[in-house]
Amino acid sequence: MAPLKLGMVGGGQGAFIGAVHRIAARLDGCFDLVAGAFASDPARAHASAAELGVAPDRSYADYADMAVAEAARADGIVAVAIVTPNHLHGPIAEAFLAQGIHVICDKPMTATLAQAQSLAKVATASDAQFFLTHNYTGYPMIRQARQMIAEGMLGDLRMVEAQYLQDWLAAPADADNKQAAWRTDPAQAGGGAIGDIGTHAYNLACFTTGLTGQALSATLTTHVPGRAVDDDARVTVDFPGGIHGHIWASQVAVGHENSLTLAIYGSAGGLRWAQEHPNQLWFTKLGQPPQLITRGSSASHPAANAVTRIPAGHPEGYLEAFATLYREAAAAISGAPRDTDALLGIADGLAGMKFIDACQRSSRQNGARIEL
């Protein structure tokens, strides 16, 4: 498959996630970055484009102009990656979808539920596709866990535990910390820990089990004085069939760097996975010793092998998981035969925003049970 022409909005000089998306997009040779509106400041946008080798006539100061101009070009972009702060995801995605350009959007889908609902309407009316990059769903051992659960290897599911713990916001952030500035601004982020990492934990719980929460009760706390968003979230989720879930997301848990963990327990067995050791999955059958399944090993499922690039024992992680999502998006855009139903889209993004919104409403009501 020839590389698809890709554009990017955001991700210019000093940005973190933009560079990650660019690496992921080119890792498997599926995309070629040819255009972008890399920053809201025109000078920085054009300087970023020059650094990235994007031609001056494909560097834009405004995303709306970019959407119209690229749609009109015979060699225009096929897809755009959106890597801006959350509050801009919705309007940018709508502008490109309206021009028939596919959208690959970083999570969460938007900053508010209202924005997500507006985007969902535009996406439904567009011929272009919308992809959401919850990157942890691209890990081989997460695909393994998903398949094992689907095949009934855990028996009847009972409990789902997902935790995402960090400590990088345990103290007031420096004034020049760009990442902290927008992620702790409710107008740009829409929420704190619950939106930034809590939505990852919830999405992973749903992705692996195939379940969607029915209701939840949440307590969102702000520990750092003066902070305008939550930095710790405790959520109890009711899944169908009486399955109990718990989500803990914290950015003030001192001693944790990027500790995303998932545990799922059923009547016949349990699974445990940790993002900081992503090539390992622990599986325990009832009454038997724990079994360590490693990526690429003889116990690795075809669903996991399909997204494995290198031999067993060679570390494969964060960037490759992102690249898996780009590769699958490219295949979907190109109309290639689908060998997976793991791609996330508008429905998943909307579910994530409903989760965040319900958590915020529940917490304001002292942990009241809120329907999802």
Write out pLDDT tens, residues 256-284: 999 999 999 999 999 999 999 999 999 99
Write out pLDDT tens, residues 160-195: 999 999 999 999 999 889 899 999 999 999 999 999
**What amino acid occupies position 224?**
V
Residue 175: predicted pLDDT: 84
Mean pLDDT of all residues in 14-41: 96
Find residue 33's DSSP bridge partners.
6
C-alpha span between 92 and 142 (Å, rounded): 30
| Phi, psi angles (nearest 5°) of residue 58 | -110, 10
Q: How many CA atoms lie within 13 A of 213 on its CB side?
A: 35
Q: How far is CA 132 from CA 163, 198, 211, 278, 345, in A?
A: 21, 16, 18, 21, 5
Residue 341: predicted pLDDT: 81
CA terminus-to-terminus distance, the chain:
40
Write out pLDDT tens, residues 70-108: 999 999 999 999 999 999 999 999 999 999 999 999 999
